[in-house]
Structure 1
Amino acid sequence: MELDPQNSLSAIQAAIDQARVLIVTYSFSVIGAILLLIVGFLAARLVERWVYAGLGQVSGFDMTLRRFFSKIARYMVLGLVIVMVLGQFGIQTASMIAAIGAVGLAIGLALQGTLQNIAAGIMLLALRPLRIGEYVEVGSISGTVEEIGLFATRLRSADGIYLLAPNSTLWTQPVKNFTRNGARRNDITVTIDNADDFDKIQATLTALAVNSPYVKETPAPDTFIAELGETTMSVTLRYWTTVPDFLFAKIELNKSVRKALNVKE
């Protein structure tokens, strides 16, 4: 079968014309997409800086949260730009967004524990039940806070052990913060005979606390009978110190009380 040269030339010419139309059409789309990407990346960077600077104007707003929310704002802008770029080529972005949403839901379910830690980290950084440098106790975890991250919090125990606690664990349990209020109370209780001179013992113990350089003047130290038995009574010396002086005061007064009352081992 012989080919008709005239028909072949017509087919080639039609293909060339169609290719020319496609090149012209998609060249504008490609140029538009490139421009959108450039403008979008610049806009995302500006939005990130604006959010970061704006949150910096909020008094006490945590640095980690500033970085986190500014990054989230940037990626949201970039996501919107990518959707617009795909729209330049006639891609149905609605179905793509639905698919991305479904994938995101599946990933969220798979990483449920991780997302809980992130959410807990945001709450810890926003509400600040604990801060870096504070000594806290949360359930069986206790130590000085060294770093609060989005996933976990690093602590150092009283005996120097490294602790890494998931944020969800710290957020879902009551936090006992020994540092936050700046002052701590301590009680030293001793047992004496009912026949002993309580007034003299009271004056002695109170004087020990008053004369200690670690004990606060206000509230003033006090000594009182905490419990009264048939032959003995429990006498308590109560005093307040600053947080840094708490341990020094406890060691000193325990020794002074034992010596003053001649407490035997």
Structure 2
Amino acid sequence: MKLLRFGPKGQEKPGLLDADGKIRDLSGVVDDIAGDTLTDAGLAKLRAIDPASLPAVAGEPRIGPCVGHVGKFVCIGLNYADHAAESNLPVPTEPVIFGKWTSAICGPNDDVEIPRDSRKTDWEVELGVVIGRHAKYVDEASALDYVAGYCVINDVSEREWQLEHGTQWDKGKGFDTFGPLGPWLVTKDEIADAQKLDLWLEIDGHRYQNGNTRTMVFNVAQLVSYLSKTMSLQPGDVISTGTPPGVGMGVKPNPVYLKAGQTIRLGIQGLGEQQQKTVAAK
């Protein structure tokens, strides 16, 4: 299934994308694409519904973030060896963990704000993993059983705040609009192998990132297991699993960063595409 949330900011309704690409309204069935809806039982309930029996949504509504009421937005740094190299940092021997504030979450096609006085706002296409079961001390062999599905994430990053204002990466990762999620949450049964997905990103039509999840240092199962040993994970928590090479910071000889008035397009095989305009933060 492809699950989504549509409507004005803060008033999103749950929806389902049918086989013809039409949005169907799920608000008569569930309150939101969040929490218990993402458990095995919640998803089984949705799979039992004939999409044609649901109201069709007219027009082209705004698509909101594909998960509502996210409890934790956990990110993994330097999870592609070639990205670590372009960042002039060693390949990690254990996952590098940082957080994005949930206030950074926005829709996949919402504007991305360039923070005031920012000179180094950057892009990162990433595979998002949405948790579907309470996970604590999970072994790697069963870790994927705790995944509800996958989505596209743009881990927008302000590098000066991330790297030049102390040691906490979180400061450069959590600005408003720095976490576009979606367009869809694609349930894991539709993805044969999350470690064989192409992912890409363009700025104003120029392709900067081309990668594949097979080159992750730590795969999805390893990440879910590792994180579950450092924190409990709940349904609706989101993990952003790292970016392949091609970020603006790594462009040689001169890094390239975002400025207001640009268009970002990105996507992952089987998970859809995002498109954002960059605007100056007010």
**Range of TM-score over shorter length:** under 0.3
Normalized against structure 1, the TM-score is what?
A: 0.22
Q: Which has the higher strand share?
A: 2
TM-score by length of 2: 0.21
Higher RCO by CA contacts (8 Å cutoff, separation 6 or greater): 2
Q: Which has the larger radius of gyration?
A: 1
